[in-house]
Amino acid sequence: MQQVLLKIIENKPLTENVYKMTLSGDVSDIETPDQFVNIKLDGLYLRRPISVCDCEGDLLTIIYKVVGKGTEMMSKMSEGTLDVLTGLGNGYNTALSGDRPLLLGGGVGVPPLYMLAKYLIAEGKQVSVVLGFNTKDEVFYEEEFKKLGANVTVTTVDGSYGTKGFVTDAMGDDYTYFFTCGPEPMLKAIYKKSETSGQFSFEERMGCGFGACMGCSCKTITGYKRICKDGPVIEKEEILWED
């Protein structure tokens, strides 16, 4: 983990309430897809965790949805620097993917899958991606995934764009392994429907964000794990769902 000051290069809306921010600086601590950063905002005690969407050279891209005070403040920033903890979390393990991995993202669970797709395609894998949203106006990053060379399907719950339904309605069965990130009901549905092993990324509420407070612990078959330090990625076989 590193604490760095990153310069805001760009901050623009992708949809009505989802923004893409590009930051520049020392991001050398970010090594694996689906690690996250933890952002300090003036006047807020707790940092705000956001997944790494992309990291290349000294540029970091994050995508965030405005849901409260912190993300609202972020959406209004056009210049300056942010105090950021980088290199947090375990990230996805691409070594387990097989030849034809399937990536399933829902809403703001989509961004970390972008860097994952990039890594898997660079490793020569045939990557399929299912991006799930509620409605057409919420869709983002379809073209970006296509440009990487992924086979992309978009689903919308109301059928206003792409395949009508949930990501599970477009999963098919032609995949060797899966990776997923999104809201918990989606993760549970994928857990039930999937026929292979896979990795789930959890966006638990956090305190410290680096393993010190146990505020994010969850029960697995091998005991309690801290989502911020031992996760956010947990393998299918380890998960114990608690209702």
Ligand X SMILES: Cc1cc2nc3c(=O)[nH]c(=O)nc-3n(C[C@H](O)[C@H](O)[C@H](O)COP(=O)(O)OP(=O)(O)OC[C@H]3O[C@@H](n4cnc5c(N)ncnc54)[C@H](O)[C@@H]3O)c2cc1C
Residues that bind ligand FES (CB under 6 A): 206-209, 211-216, 226, 228
Binding partner of residue 208 among ligand FES, ligand X, none, CB cut-off 5 to 8 Å per kind: ligand FES
Instruction: Check residue 64 for interaction with ligand X (CB under 6 A).
Output: yes
The reply to whether 50 sits near ligand X by the rule CB under 6 A is yes
Give the C-alpha separation, 230 to 182, whole Å.
18
* Residue 5 near residue 83 (C-beta atoms within 8 A): yes
Q: Is 125 a binder of ligand X (CB under 6 A)?
A: no
Taking the complex as a whole, the smallest distance from the CB of residue 230 to ligand FES amounts, in Å, to 9
Site for ligand X contains 149 (CB under 6 A): no
Task: Give CA–CA dist 199/168, Å, rounded.
Answer: 15
Smaller CB separation from ligand FES, 2 or 126: 2
Determine, following the binding rule CB under 6 A, whether residue 49 of this chain makes contact with ligand X: yes
Helix (H, G, I), strand (E, B) or coil at 123: coil
CB of 158 to ligand FES, least distance (A): 35
Task: Tell me the one-letter amino acid at 120.
Answer: L
Taking the complex as a whole, the smallest distance from the CB of residue 89 to ligand FES amounts, in Å, to 10
**Residue 111 touches ligand X, criterion: CB under 6 A:** yes
Q: Do 205 and 44 touch, CB atoms closer than 8 A?
A: no
Residues 6+ apart with CB under 8 A from 144: 114
Q: How far apart are CA 230 and CA 222, in angstroms?
A: 12
Of ligand FES, ligand X, none, which one sits near residue 65, judging by CB under 5 to 8 A according to partner kind?
Answer: ligand X
- Provide, rounded to whole angstroms, the least separation between the CB of residue 242 and ligand X: 16
User: Is residue 178 at the binding interface for ligand X, with CB under 6 A as the rule?
Assistant: no
The reply to whether 12 sits near ligand X by the rule CB under 6 A is no
Query: What radius of gyration, in Å, describes the C-alpha atoms of the chain?
Result: 17
Residues with Cβ within 8 Å of 68's Cβ and at least 6 positions away in sequence, in order, are: none
Long-range contacts of 160-168 (CB under 8 A, 24+ apart): 160/135, 160/136, 161/133, 161/135, 161/136, 166/132, 167/104, 167/105, 167/106, 167/130, 167/131, 167/132, 168/193
CB of 60 to ligand FES, least distance (A): 21
Residue nearer to ligand FES on the CB measure, 165 or 211: 211
Q: Which of 71, 90, 128, 199 binds ligand X (CB under 6 A)?
A: 71
Query: What are the residues binding ligand X (CB under 6 A)?
Result: 36, 48-51, 63-65, 67-71, 108, 111, 203-206, 232
